């Protein structure tokens, strides 16, 4: 069953292919009666546009790619959901790529996306090493918006949340609750978000003379949080509070603590980061630093289309949101 093409439709309707194309793309330019005939033929033959041909001609696809660190992290799915409506209303399609915090996977995705001549790219880069790869795309006139990551000196638009401020918020909250020894759980430190959140935390601890211990993890997931707790509980004189680089880690930590009979928040307080839905839902509801996830996605998409629209004379914009601490049961106790 050879796929039916415009040529077949044209023949069936007794018109030229140009006319069929017009019916599809600028229906107002073709006479009522002809249009009806063509549409009938289309329905009749079950014709469906061939997107590859279309793209080839257009020189560009309608796909906006979003490359995230971890699709299983609700933070990112919410970002994607924020971006989707805007992209779709602009006639685009969203494709989500998961780098899994792995530079090699990220790179493979970028190569593929470049081959696909995507319309634009929203990306949360794994670390700085991807910068030059990302700029290749920019060089190919594919606009790129960095998500959850300040552009720094890179030539891109960006949407970010001030992670250093977020780290400060979390630490200050714990210090105010009377904690004198805090653990930071997260990693790898090459991930900018991790580094920034730690930095904010470190500042506040230094100022307030609070002891800070780092438990580095190989990734930002549930498993990592649980394992870090194992390590922590082995120690004498353990911290009375932990600040986790994101909520998945925090939930893992919560489970680890609970499994070892350590009461939260009585014996160990927890602050997470992202305020995903599961955080409030945990049986010890998690205090967390909230980021405007959906808005992050929405704004990123907006910046992307602005850049596309403005074309040459576009100046990059860097939007920074402020995070907010949501205090819940996991830090409800004053020491």
SS3 291: coil
Angle at 33 between CA 27 and CA 34, to 5 degrees: 60
Do 198 and 204 form a contact (C-beta atoms < 8 A)? no
Size of the site for DNA (CB under 7 A): 32
Q: Please, which residue, 53 or 320, has the CB nearer to DNA?
A: 53
Span 276-315, contacts to its own copies by CB under 8 A: 277-278, 280-285
Our finding on whether 16 is near DNA (CB under 7 A) is yes
Within residues 97-116, the interface with its own copies by CB under 8 A covers 111-112, 114-116
310 touches, from its own copies, DNA, none (C-beta below 5 to 8 Å by class): none
Strands (E), the chain: 63-68, 93-98, 120-123, 144-147, 157-161, 181-186, 211-216, 241-244, 269-274, 287-290, 318-321, 324-326
Q: 180 is written with which tokens?
A: 């004198």
Closest CA to 289 of 321, 257, 267, 263: 321
190 binds, among DNA, its own copies, none (CB under 5 to 8 A by kind): none
Of residues 17-76, which lie at the interface with DNA (CB under 7 A)? Answer: 17-22, 24-25, 29-34, 47-50, 53-54, 56-59
Q: Decide the pairing of beta strands 211-216 and 269-274.
A: unpaired
CB closer to its own copies out of 37 and 293:
293
- Asked if 138 touches its own copies (CB under 8 A), the answer is no
**Residue 89 binds to DNA (criterion: CB under 7 A):** no
Cβ nearer to DNA, comparing 22 with 291: 22
> Tokens standing for 311?
């074309």
Q: Which tokens is 27 given?
A: 């229906």
**Residue 91 makes contact with its own copies by CB under 8 A:** no
Applying CB under 7 A, the residues found at the interface with DNA are 2-3, 5-7, 14-22, 24-25, 29-34, 47-50, 53-54, 56-59
């Amino acid at each position: 069953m050879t796929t039916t093409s415009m040529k077949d439709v044209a023949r069936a309707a007794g018109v030229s292919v140009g006319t069929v194309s017009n019916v599809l793309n600028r229906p107002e330019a073709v006479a009522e009666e002809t249009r009806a005939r063509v549409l009938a033929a289309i329905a009749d033959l079950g014709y469906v546009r061939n997107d590859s041909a279309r793209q080839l001609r257009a020189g560009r696809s309608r796909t906006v790619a979003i490359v995230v660190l971890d699709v299983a992290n609700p933070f990112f799915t919410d970002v994607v959901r924020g971006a989707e409506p805007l992209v779709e209303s602009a006639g685009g399609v969203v494709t989500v790529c998961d780098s899994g915090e792995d530079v090699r996977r990220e790179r493979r995705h970028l190569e593929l996306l470049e081959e696909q001549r995507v319309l634009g790219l929203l990306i949360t880069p794994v670390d700085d090493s991807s910068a030059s790869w990302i700029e290749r795309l920019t060089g190919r006139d594919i606009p790129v918006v960095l998500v959850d990551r300040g552009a720094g000196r890179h030539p891109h638009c960006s949407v970010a949340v001030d992670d250093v401020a977020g780290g400060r918020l979390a630490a200050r909250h714990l210090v105010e609750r009377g904690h004198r020894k805090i653990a930071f759980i997260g990693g790898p430190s090459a991930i900018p978000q991790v580094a920034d959140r730690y930095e904010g935390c470190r500042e506040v601890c230094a100022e307030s003379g609070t002891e800070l211990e780092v438990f580095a993890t190989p990734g930002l997931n549930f498993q990592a949080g649980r394992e870090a707790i194992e390590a922590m509980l082995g120690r004498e004189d353990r911290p009375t509070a932990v600040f986790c680089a994101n909520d998945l880690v925090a939930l893992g930590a919560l489970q680890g603590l609970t499994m070892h009979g350590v009461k939260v928040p009585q014996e160990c307080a927890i602050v997470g980061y992202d305020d995903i839905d599961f955080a409030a839902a945990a049986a010890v509801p998690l205090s967390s630093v909230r980021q405007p996830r959906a808005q992050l996605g929405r704004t990123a998409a907006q910046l992307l289309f602005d850049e596309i629209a403005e074309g040459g004379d576009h100046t990059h914009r860097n939007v920074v949101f402020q995070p907010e601490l949501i205090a819940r049961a996991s830090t409800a106790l004053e020491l």
